Amino acid sequence: MKTAFLVAAFAAFPLLSASAAPAAVSKNPMKTGVTKTDWGKADGQPVDLYTLVNRNGLVAKITTYGAMLTELHVPDRKGKLADVVLGFDSLEGYLKGHPFFGCTTGRYANRIAKGQFTLDRQTYKLATNNGPNHLHGGLKGFDKKIWQAKEQISPLGPSVTFTYTSPDGEEGYPGKLSVVVVYTLTNDNELRIDYQASTDKATVLNLTNHAYFNLAGAGSGSVLAHQLRITAEHYTPVDETSIPTGEIRAVKGTVMDFTQPLAIGARFDQLKANPAKSDPGGYDHNYVLNTKGPGPLTLAAELYEPTSGRVMSISTTEPGIQLYTGNYLDGTNTGKGGKVYNKNDALCLETQHFPDSPNQPKFPSTVLRPGQKYSQTTTHKFSVRK
């Protein structure tokens, strides 16, 4: 990661398909803007829920617990709204434990091998909470913290700014880290997430949002018929514990190829033959985006759900995107409306730096030093196909 401050362009980006059109305006009676409500308590501290409604009637709900996206209502081709992210109806569901539904993950999203890394000749030990490896910031990462929040109406649409200060040594990471995450529901029907951070000591940092998407609606069943395109001609192969081998391999001619739109489940039979012990039959892989490095927003992926006509296009300033097809959802999470979330009932498209970058010198760096600014942006733009 180049840690020079990045100026994100506040502009719309074209969809991959010319047949896509702006999402139909919904008949949502909710008032445009931001509403704050009490959502309970965690660790004895109050938790708030913010509801964002843009001028087209789209709705996003984000809570101060984990700076977490809990709901995202977008219209289908007939203008009917549906919530397209997995989660729970109340805070209690999240407090019981969950597979990172909708949360801000950090300090380091994805895996770090054997729970350790060396920086400036000093080795740092982290929790091993995913087999032998460290995952998503540790035992109590950013997803379990209560963030401070401030609402506003930006030129782009309703917005909430979340802030958290991670003390030096938290979860084993060096440096006092100040983090800002801004969610904006733009009037161009984008959920935009801007991240910034600074540190007083050299550290490593990799932030993302871990939303589980089902464009037919949360709890509606499998996503294997969703059609996906990823603008990546390479990916990072992994070992039996899902740690990158260090190789950057071409996707052409392999089961990993989504350079053309393809049903997610089209090659699952081949994936099930994968001998990797960590792969129960599905994708959980980092793709190397066709970009020359951090900079202006670049289209990373497009997801289409044929029944509803919903399209989600993801643009990012990050070099990678993790495709995860909900392989470990096992019916133990009773979600919104009492619906059960089973294997492959959602997918994640996590914009990020590569897994295990602190131990992989050939990967883009995730080191952040004092005086430098971490800055990145990801947008999720919604539209429909007729």
For the chain, the domains span: 20-385
For the residues 184-196, what does the mean pLDDT come to?
98
Q: How far is CA 266 from the centre of its chain?
A: 23
62 close to 70: Cβ distance less than 8 angstroms: yes
Q: Given this model, what pLDDT does residue 16 score?
A: 36
Q: Report whether pLDDT(5) > 70.
A: no
CATH 3.30.365.10 given to domain 20-385: no
For the residues 41-62, what does the mean pLDDT come to?
97
Q: Which position has the higher pLDDT, 304 or 270?
A: 304
Q: Given this model, what pLDDT does residue 29 score?
A: 65
The tens digit of pLDDT for each residue in 283-323 reads 999 999 998 666 689 999 999 999 999 999 999 999 999 99
Among residues 300, 307, 342, 351, the alpha carbon closest in space to that of 217 is found at 307
CA distance 302 to 200: 38
Q: Which tokens hold the place of 340?
A: 């059960």
104 close to 98: Cβ distance less than 8 angstroms: no
Q: Report whether pLDDT(356) > 50.
A: yes
The tens digit of pLDDT for each residue in 143-182 reads 999 999 999 999 999 999 999 999 999 999 999 999 999 9
pLDDT band at 20 (very low <50, low <70, confident <90, very high): low
Q: Report whether pLDDT(337) > 50.
A: yes
Q: Report whether pLDDT(327) > 50.
A: yes
The tens digit of pLDDT for each residue in 99-158 reads 999 999 999 999 999 999 999 999 999 999 999 999 999 999 999 999 999 999 999 999
Q: Which position has the higher pLDDT, 273 or 255?
A: 255
- Please give the positions annotated as active site: 210, 350
pLDDT band at 30 (very low <50, low <70, confident <90, very high): confident
36 close to 49: Cβ distance less than 8 angstroms: yes
Among residues 326, 315, 354, the alpha carbon closest in space to that of 235 is found at 354
Q: Which tokens hold the place of 64?
A: 């101060």
The pLDDT mean for the chain works out to 91
- DSSP bridge pairs for 135: 111
Q: Report whether pLDDT(43) > 80.
A: yes
Q: Which amino acid is at 168?
A: D
Q: Report whether pLDDT(369) > 70.
A: yes
Classified as helix, coil or strand, 107 is coil
Q: Given this model, what pLDDT does residue 293 score?
A: 61
Q: Given this model, what pLDDT does residue 7 score?
A: 30
Q: Given this model, what pLDDT does residue 321 score?
A: 98
Q: Given this model, what pLDDT does residue 12 score?
A: 31
Q: Given this model, what pLDDT does residue 23 score?
A: 62
pLDDT band at 269 (very low <50, low <70, confident <90, very high): confident
Neighbouring residues of 378: CB distance < 8 A, sequence distance ≥ 6: 192, 193, 208, 209, 314, 315, 316, 317, 318, 351
CA distance 215 to 333: 19
Q: Report whether pLDDT(97) > 60.
A: yes
What pTM did the predictor assign?
0.92
CA distance 363 to 220: 38
Q: How many residues does the chain have?
A: 386
